[in-house]
Amino acid sequence: MESPRKWYPSATEVDGWCRAVFRRAEGADVGGELLDPLPWSAVGGIRHARMRYVAFHSVALGTWYGIWQPCPSGRGPLLVHVPGYAAEMSAHPELTADGYNVLHVNPLGYVTPEGPDLSKRVDDAWPVLPDTVRTLGEGGYFDWLTQAAAATLWALRQDGVRGDGPAFFGTSQGGGGALLLGSILADEGVRAVAADVPYLTDFAWVYEHKSGAAYARITGPLQALAEDGPQRLAAGWKALGFVDTLSHAHRLSMPVLLTAGSVDTTCPPETIRALFERLPGTRAYVELGGQSHGYTVPFMTLTRAWMRLHV
């Protein structure tokens, strides 16, 4: 099989794409509406009084949500958490206790403070990756990343946020998204990235090996494009190349922590090692023996140490 990497964008094209996402986010005039305090619950973890759901509103980008978690000390750096493909909301009280402001951003309005917006699901799944292929990169992750970047810029403007650059972290799609946001906002002084079993990594490998969830989610849209002719198929692969973390390795010069599971068939360790080998700066790769896909137990401990070192 001929590798679809031949259709991937060049490094120069990736640089231009990142500038386009950033300019769109910067120019979107996003307002953050702090909603009522998070309700007390007998389940669901610790809440502190200043923690709020936040609704992001923009005429250009629409509405999406997050959780704003300011540090109790009143001033600290910004950490941004992005969700996995299930679009789960999550709070991080251990990180605010460490002295960070933490924003969890949940793009495209898939999940709201009231719960999932099931009207946005397609074939019982969130459509962001297939939409990236179907729209040839004009929708899907282009919109998802723009909203996440715009929310980050909003958070950087908040009182008590240290102005020397954000850091990003997440698991699965959140890990891949953290890496892509690190690339998009690299010129804004990104301090570090921590990516747990990162999805959106080496689409070409998983397609060639018929492995991983990425293969299942992109096969149908790619086949539909192939039926329209080779140029459409090439354009679909180029769209995927723009949101493949391997395409952004040259931009990820900040300290990057990667974890992988040795028996992860959703985000195979081969893909994550391929990214690690391309990273140009301070980097760490931790492969967890016997670990399948999901939020890994060591990741938050590793992330807290990584952020203490580099943020």
Q: How much is the pTM?
A: 0.96
- Model pLDDT for residues 64-75, shown as the tens digit of each residue: 999 999 998 889
Q: What pLDDT, on the 0 to 100 scale, is given for residue 50?
A: 77
Beta carbons of 278 and 246 less than 8 angstroms apart: yes
Q: What is the mean pLDDT of residues 222-234?
A: 96
Structure tokens at 183: 């690339």
pLDDT band for 37, please (50, 70, 90 cuts): low
Q: Positive or negative, the Cα torsion across 130, 133, 139, 143?
A: positive
Band the pLDDT of 36: cuts 50, 70, 90. Answer: confident
Token digits of residue 204 = 């070409």
Q: Which two tokens stand for residue 128?
A: 């962001």
CB 140 within 8 A of CB 128: yes
In sequence order, which residues have a C-beta less than 8 Å from that of residue 19 and are 6 or more positions away?
Answer: none
284-288 long-range contacts, CB within 8 A, separation 24+: 284/256, 284/257, 284/258, 285/258, 285/259, 285/260, 286/257, 286/258, 286/259, 286/260, 287/259, 287/260, 287/261, 287/262, 288/259, 288/260, 288/261, 288/262
| pLDDT over threshold 60, residue 41 | no
